[in-house]
Amino acid sequence: MRSVLSVGGSSREVPLPREYDGWRIVVLDIDATRGPDIVCDARELTRIEAAQYDAVYCSHNLEHYFEHEVPCVLGGFLHVLKPAGFVHIRVPDMGALVRTVAEQNLDIDDVLYGSPAGPIRVKDVIYGYAVEIARSGSDFFAHKTGFTRKSLKTTLRDCGFPYTFVRGAELEIVALGFAEKPDAYATALFGLPEPA
């Protein structure tokens, strides 16, 4: 059975994309109160046994580290991945945010969209969801860096993932990174083009 490490996934109640249906899901989070399988800071993934996961799924977590810490986190992803494994990353799209703010003449306090957690303002995308930061009392939930499609692709390549596939969704970047050329399974699973 294939296994995926959900980094910053908080708990099993947070669903993963359908691509992981039938996979063994291991949840890693820094907050033990949420009941993750592994309590660990993602900057310390080298403490975990190497090469044991087929994928690392990291949704809206990478932006919670300072820019200079991102290579450490991505290096940890490489450490825990099997050789043919991959990272699947989702982060806010700062390029799309800037364009939306300019096109719609939005202010930093204006609501961009509604979510199950509540209204999301421009400043929540930039700095982190203020309601969660206040509720938790922890600045770990603050955003400390940001990405555009180009910058995330460059960062992944610079950190050991030469085969990268990046696309945009609404105000979100979705990226896949591979240390080796994607195998037939991953190519079919995500509908990837043949890498050059």
Total number of domains in the chain? 1
Q: Could you give phi then psi for residue 190, rounded to 5 degrees?
A: -105, 0
Domain presence at residue 135: no
Domain presence at residue 68: yes
pLDDT at 88: 98
Domain presence at residue 127: no
pLDDT at 195: 59
Domain presence at residue 120: no
Q: For the chain (length 196 residues), average pLDDT per consecutive 10?
A: 91 86 94 89 95 97 97 98 97 96 97 92 96 89 96 98 92 97 94 78
User: Alpha-carbon distance 193 to 79, whole Å?
Assistant: 26
Domain presence at residue 101: no
Q: Could you give phi then psi for residue 187, rounded to 5 degrees?
A: -60, -45
CATH of the domain at 178: 3.40.50.150
Lookup result for tokens 């190519």: 187
Domain presence at residue 37: yes
User: Alpha-carbon distance 96 to 168, whole Å?
Assistant: 9
Q: What is the pLDDT of residues 53-79, one digit of tens each?
A: 999 999 999 999 999 999 999 999 999
CA-nearest of 73, 74, 80 to 53 is 80
Q: Are 23 and 2 in contact (CB under 8 A)?
A: yes
Q: Could you give phi then psi for residue 66, rounded to 5 degrees?
A: -65, 155
Beta bridge partners of 174: 90, 167
Kindly report the pTM of this predicted structure. 0.94
Identify the domain containing residue 23 by its residue range. Answer: 3-94+143-190
Domain presence at residue 116: no
Domain presence at residue 64: yes
Number of H helices, E strands in the chain: 6, 9
